[in-house]
Amino acid sequence: MKNKNTPINPKLYYSTVLVVIALMLLGLFAGNPLLHHLGPGYLTHGVLVFFLSICLLIYPLYKSHFFRIIIIVVASTYFYTIFFLYPNTWSNFIFLCFIPAISILFFDKKLFHLSLLLNTFSIIILFSYIAIVDRGELYSYIREDLIGNIINFLGSQAILYFIFYLSYERLKKQKLYYEQIKHSERLKTTGQLAAAMAHEIRNPLTVVKGFLQLYEKENTYNENSKRHFSLMINELSTAEQVISQYLSIAKPDKDTETELVNVKDVLQSVTDLLNTYGLLHDNKIVLSKVEDGYIAASTIELKQLLINIIKNAMEASKVGDSVVVTSECKKDLIEIKVMDCGQGMSKEEMESLGTPFYSLKSRGTGLGMMICYNIAAKYKGTIHFDSVKGKGTTVTIRFPS
């Protein structure tokens, strides 16, 4: 995670730091037992307060990993020093437990793990010192219940660990979410631009195609030229088709109305339409076991989805094969299945479905499945592919009823 990019609110930071510095100064001057016989101990305390204050004050200017390590080292030295200088202030022990919390503020995973490890190690040494050397002379409150203190220390580290992980995960998720929003905004803008462009390109294409169709019918041209015209018209039709399909994805859905659509009726009309298309390769659509069922969607879009999927199944089928379509009402959803015994798809091919312009057909646009997924998502439906290469494909479409 890039910590450098997380801006600190300067007002909040400096007011917090000033409070911390004021408390450290208060500890140095107010009722300090060492104040009466000044010595190297008190001097060390003063120097550490000074250094820690400077580090905290200039941190916003040098927000580097290295500087964070320096702050943690100085702060740890400070807390351990006051623990040793003021053995009667038992609450200093609490600060030792919470040293790893400093790196939580920096949201630095590596630093947190390192300081958790080093601090545990230091506490082990400290407790060994108290048990073996001090023997409860100065730190009787720790020595008298050593096990209890060790358990408390471990407990505090576990709490810190949970706090760190929970907030770290949440921050990571938020960051991801933010990235996604930014990405979709960018996509939306490019989508709008592309749609505007596609629209502009379609008009001249239509004009050129119209003239070619005229010339094709005239007798002044020889057969060879006419063949070229027909080739050009075909290519222009493909381009037109790509643009129309693209525009149907990009255009806002204001002209589609949601209504209660009877699946049986829609399947019947789609079958009637596509059976003519099937004559080309002697493919038939068999409607078996089609139940009445209602979906809240737009009739046009539902038809568009089914036409795309059934047409794909027909195009994948061998000459003379049939495509079987079923529809069933289950609990709270309607399940439509389109089954073919055609060429099937490999796992990789299935993963590419829905990617714009992915097509294995010489005249395919590769936009059909993308449109289908978009329509399904719009009405809270799903499309699932089961396919075996060379054996056939079953497409399962589910919509809430």
CB of 251 to Mg ion, least distance (A): 19
Q: Is 340 in the site for ligand ADP (CB under 6 A)?
A: yes
Q: Is 360 in the site for ligand ADP (CB under 6 A)?
A: yes
Taking the least distance from each CB to ligand ADP, the nearer of 32 and 394 is 394
100 binds, among Mg ion, ligand ADP, none (CB under 5 to 8 A by kind): none
Number of residues that bind ligand ADP (CB under 6 A): 20
Q: How far is CA 337 from CA 65, 283, 341, 395, in A?
A: 57, 17, 13, 6
DSSP 93-158: HHHHHTTTHHHHHHT-HHHHHHHHHHHHHHHHHHHHHIIIIITTSS-HHHHTTHHHHHHHHHHHHH
Q: Is 157 in the site for ligand ADP (CB under 6 A)?
A: no
Per-residue contact string for residues 380-399; x = within reach of ligand ADP by CB under 6 A: -------------x------
Which stretch, 53-61, 220-228, 268-276, 361-369, contacts ligand ADP (CB under 6 A)?
361-369
Alpha-carbon distance of 270 to 259, in angstroms, equals 18
DSSP state of 377: H
CB 160 within 8 A of CB 100: yes
393 binds, among Mg ion, ligand ADP, none (CB under 5 to 8 A by kind): ligand ADP
Task: Please give, one letter per residue, the 3-state secondary structure of 29-52.
Answer: HCCCHHHCCCCHHHHHHHHHHHHH
Using the rule CB under 6 A, which residue among 48, 142, 302, 353 binds ligand ADP? 353
Using the rule CB under 6 A, which residue among 366, 376, 381, 397 binds ligand ADP? 366
Taking the least distance from each CB to ligand ADP, the nearer of 282 and 351 is 351
User: What is the helix (H) or strand (E) element at residue 284, kind and residue range?
Assistant: strand 284-290
CB of 401 to Mg ion, least distance (A): 26
Which phi and psi angles does 146 have, rounded to 5°?
-60, -45
Per-residue contact string for residues 310-339; x = within reach of ligand ADP by CB under 6 A: --xx--x-----------------------
Tell me the HSE value of 228 on the side-chain side, using a 13 A CA sphere. Answer: 5
CB of 372 to ligand ADP, least distance (A): 7
Alpha-carbon distance of 179 to 174, in angstroms, equals 9
Which residue ranges make up the site for ligand ADP (CB under 6 A)?
308, 312-313, 316, 340, 342-345, 353, 358-361, 364-366, 368-369, 393
